[in-house]
Amino acid sequence: MSEIIKLSRRELIKAGILVGGGLVLACHIPGGLRQALAAGTTPFAPNAFLRIGSDGTITVIVNKSEMGQGVYTSLPMLIAEELECDWQQVRVQPSPVAPEYDHVTFGNIMATGGSTSVRTEWERLSKAGAAAREMLIEAAAKDWKVKPSACQAKNSVVHGPGGKHLNYGELAEQAALLPVPKEPKLKKSKKHTLLGKPIKRLDSPAKINGTAIFGIDVDAPGMLTAVIARPPVFGGTVKSFDAKKALAVAGVREVVAVDAGVAVVADGFWPAQKGRGLLEIVWDEGQWASINTPAMREEYAKLAATPGAKAYSSGDAAAELDKADRKFTAEYEVPYLAHAPMEPLNCFVDLKPDSGLVRTGSQFQTVDRAAAAGVAGLQPEQVTFETTFLGGGFGRRACPASDFIIEAAQVAKAVKKPVKVIRTREDDMRAGFYRPMWYDRINACLDKQGRPLAWQHTIVGQSIAAGTSFENAMVKDGIDSTSVEGAADLPYAIPNVLVDLHTTKNGVPVLWWRSVGHSHTAFVVESFLDELAHATGQDPYKYRRSLLAKHPRHLQVLETVAQKAGWGKPLPAGVGRGIAVHESFGSFVAQVAEVSMTDKDQVQVKRVVCAIDCGKIVNPDTITAQMEGAIIFGLSAALYGAITLKNGQVEQGNFDGYPLVQMDDAPKIEVHIVKSNEPPGGVGEPGVPPLAPAMANALFAVSGARVRSLPITPDQVRAAMGKA
């Protein structure tokens, strides 16, 4: 083995050469990007998403950010399927920011989020590929003086009568002269050769060779690196600072104040970081220095006992509850959570008097570009925004406040040099933007058969959209739709439902976090339903089925997961099973978790079986991978995740205080994709919501401990079991 690790000179050279070419690597070379996109350098550019070179190279321009979810493969597959091209010839280029790359449904912004990439691009990219195919066929037919219908395209070659054939490279120039068909004919799905197949990711080779460029890897001639000393509490500002000692560190160039704090700008990360440690700063802590999580909980709990703004109502839940002999009430809570992508936030900015360059990973390029331009005093169009790979996104780089962009632009403006700001893990975890903390209270009563007759759910927490440019679109009559999603649209047959909301305000910055509102509503709804099933002596799986008769897609994933998990079959002693089902982002996911406990009351999830119906599919292996990843992501939150505040300060800073699931506590995961001809649904997020309730329900099954608060720590388990 060791001799394999030793590097041969040839390998080194090979690696060096690989950087310049090859299938995947084209996607990280900004120079190449500019070239490929410039009009006239490729003969055939039928639309914004496709370039075909005279050498037959197919360049797909992708307007979604690659953050692990596989869009640099799934979106090219949509084009390639219709184009009938040779998949080996396909290269990917990230798109620039331009109106033609705007999100189909989010308004005038380029954005990646809401598990929408495949859903919203399916039609546009399929048509882009089909139109190009028709033009290539037409070009060949003209050349041969035959009807296009006498020709066929396959594997980047057009075949005509009598064995004639021309490849796409040869046809590119002629095809470019033809009008672009408005309504190209799409293939029938049974003719698909790529869609539905586990095609290998185009970005994998670069990601195992160290050549994939993430935002943190961006480099430029003369670039400096900065770290920022940030206020200890949200909303704090710099009163005064002394940079003398910091400036004495070898490699430190400048120390400048920006809105985010005090930036130490140096030749590299290490001197910047060392310099930051030597800054003497007096902070004005501002109005949020007294926030404490326990006090906040108390306030939320009080609010939860009072009626909020109505988010949904059917029948008369209040009247039924008033009449009921027996009421069921439970309170649930979940904490603030950090996204904690493995790549800490960072951003490169280079400003010139009449232009700017931003290079980083972003899920909101248009918003971020405008923010950088605003700092620089430029028009957005004067700023070039180049999207790198994202070392995880999970919503964090879709920030309406563009916090990590603005701070870098301010530093670059102050030092008048290209600058990369890097956040340390502690900066990343403490400087904000969290999944909101939520407190929920549910009251229900049952009919004679034990089915829910009335269900009243009060939700307490901050609005993510309030105060942002998304407020108008997302907040209606005081209800932020993401606060109540998954609660105000219950699939279960319950005649009287009332869901209301208290929107709280405080200085803790909140943001969408993989699965957004569903990350808490699924836990609450699916746990409480389980409680009702047990309270009436019914099997939680059968109980759900009986209430989902009108929801065939819920039913199918539920039945699939129950069957695959062997629901009802005996388990070894000390192991319990729990089930949950939830719809989000256009997809339906059910999970069964098998759980045991250590003698220290630590929950261990041994196995998770998952069934998903996400409609028509592009790449089944990506779907499986997203379910696996979402289950681990959900499990980290359910077992360990909590951001807490003491005197306004975030108590966690690194992975010791905010642990993630590791190899030795990762369960065995089995994913089953249900066949479906429904419109495509999302896959990045929908696997997260069912995990926590399936786990909590399994814990109850094995121990009788009903834990209604996440994360489920040994203390929580002991308290629920009445142990001291």
Partner 1 sequence: MITFQVNGISHSVDLEADTPLLWVLRDHLKLTGTKFGCGEGLCGACTVLIDGQPQRSCQTSLAEMQDKKVTTIEGVPVSHPLKKAWLTEEVSQCGYCQPGQIMNAAGLMTSKPHPTDADIDNAMSGNLCRCGTYGRIRKAIHVASQQEGEKS
Q: Which of residues 262-301 bind partner 1 (CB under 8 A)?
A: 267-271, 274
> What's the min distance (Å) between Cβ of 654 and ligand FES?
9
> What's the min distance (Å) between Cβ of 207 and ligand FES?
8
> What's the min distance (Å) between Cβ of 203 and partner 1?
7
Q: How far is the C-alpha of 580 from the C-alpha of 486, rounded, in Å?
A: 13
Among 53, 56, 68, 361, binds ligand FES (CB under 6 A): 68
Task: Give Dmax over CA atoms of the chain in angstroms.
Answer: 88
Partner from partner 1, ligand FES, none binding residue 129, C-beta < 5-8 Å depending on class = none
Residue 389 is a binding residue for partner 1 (CB under 8 A): yes
Report the site for partner 1 in 494-533 (rule: CB under 8 A). none
Q: How far is the C-alpha of 72 from the C-alpha of 669, rounded, in Å?
A: 25
Q: How far is the C-alpha of 722 from the C-alpha of 704, rounded, in Å?
A: 10
**Which residues neighbour 640 within 8 Å (Cβ) at sequence distance 6 or greater?**
658, 659, 660, 661, 711, 713
- 225: which strand partners? 266, 420
Return the SS3 of 352.
strand
Nearest residue to 225 via CA among 348, 397, 359, 391: 348
**Which residues neighbour 138 within 8 Å (Cβ) at sequence distance 6 or greater?**
148, 175, 178
Report the site for partner 1 in 610-649 (rule: CB under 8 A). 621, 625, 628-633
> What's the min distance (Å) between Cβ of 589 and partner 1?
15
Residue 685 is a binding residue for partner 1 (CB under 8 A): no
Residue 388 or 709 having the CB closest to partner 1: 388
Among 7, 39, 573, 724, binds partner 1 (CB under 8 A): 7
Please give the C-alpha separations between residue 269 and each of 218, 361, 519, 576, 680, in angstroms, as whole numbers. 13, 19, 35, 48, 43
Q: Are 694 and 633 in contact (CB under 8 A)?
A: no
Partner from ligand FES, partner 1, none binding residue 212, C-beta < 5-8 Å depending on class = partner 1
Give the position of tokens 């914004």.
48
Residue 475 or 605 having the CB closest to partner 1: 605
Dihedrals phi, psi of 619, to nearest 5 degrees: -125, 105
Among 38, 319, 342, 549, binds ligand FES (CB under 6 A): 342
Please give the C-alpha separations between residue 631 and each of 342, 397, 434, 636, 637, in angstroms, as whole numbers. 17, 21, 19, 9, 10
Partner from ligand FES, partner 1, none binding residue 386, C-beta < 5-8 Å depending on class = none
Binding mask 414-453 for partner 1 (x = CB under 8 A): --------x-xx----------------------------
Report the site for partner 1 in 114-133 (rule: CB under 8 A). none
Spatial strand order in the sheet of 58-62: 44-47, 50-52, 58-62, 90-94
Residue 594 is a binding residue for partner 1 (CB under 8 A): no
Residue 400 is a binding residue for ligand FES (CB under 6 A): no
> What's the min distance (Å) between Cβ of 267 and partner 1?
8
Report the site for partner 1 in 21-80 (rule: CB under 8 A). 66-70
Q: How far is the C-alpha of 585 from the C-alpha of 501, rounded, in Å?
A: 21
Among 460, 669, 694, 695, binds partner 1 (CB under 8 A): 669
Residue 270 is a binding residue for ligand FES (CB under 6 A): no
Region from 194-202, 478-486, 572-580, 638-646 binding partner 1, contact rule CB under 8 A = 194-202
Partner from ligand FES, partner 1, none binding residue 7, C-beta < 5-8 Å depending on class = partner 1
User: What secondary structure letter does DSSP report for 643?
Assistant: B
Q: How far is the C-alpha of 464 from the C-alpha of 510, rounded, in Å?
A: 6
Residue 216 is a binding residue for partner 1 (CB under 8 A): yes
Partner from ligand FES, partner 1, none binding residue 108, C-beta < 5-8 Å depending on class = none
Tokens describing residue 637: 């939150």
Residue 221 is a binding residue for partner 1 (CB under 8 A): no
The two beta strands, 157-159 and 587-597, are unpaired
Judged by CB under 8 A, the number of residues near partner 1 is 78
Nearest residue to 538 via CA among 573, 568, 562: 568
Residue 392 is a binding residue for ligand FES (CB under 6 A): yes
Cα dihedral sign, 508-511-513-518:
positive
What's the N-to-C CA distance of the chain in angstroms?
52
Partner from ligand FES, partner 1, none binding residue 9, C-beta < 5-8 Å depending on class = partner 1
What residues line the site for ligand FES (CB under 6 A)?
A: 68, 342, 392
